[in-house]
């Protein structure tokens, strides 16, 4: 009987490695139906903010000499 418990403890400490299917499942676990579109919108907003800041920097550099 004690060997069964020891085997269980040993298995818990040394789980088998994850394969590609397990990793894909873990990546999608907890994601909602709109998570990919939200991520894309966040990236678009970040890119647009960077572009606006770059353009504002160009405009202020032209007006410094006046």
What's the pLDDT tens digit per position in 17-50? 889 999 988 888 878 888 889 999 999 999 999 9
* pLDDT at residue number 51: 94
pLDDT at residue 61 is higher than 70: no
pLDDT at residue 3 is higher than 90: no
pLDDT at residue 1 is higher than 50: no
Q: CA geometry: angle at 11 spanning 9 and 13, to 5°?
A: 70
Burial per residue of 36-60, b for 16 or more beta-carbon CB atoms within 10 angstroms, e otherwise: eeeeeeeeeeeeeeeeeeeeeeeee
* pLDDT at residue number 46: 96
């Amino acid at each position: 009987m004690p060997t069964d418990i020891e085997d269980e403890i040993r298995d818990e400490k040394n789980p088998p490695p994850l394969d590609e299917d397990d990793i894909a499942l873990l990546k999608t676990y907890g994601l909602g139906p709109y998570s990919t579109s939200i991520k894309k919108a966040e990236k678009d907003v970040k890119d647009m903010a960077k572009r606006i800041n770059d353009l504002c920097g160009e405009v202020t550099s032209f007006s410094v000499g006046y």
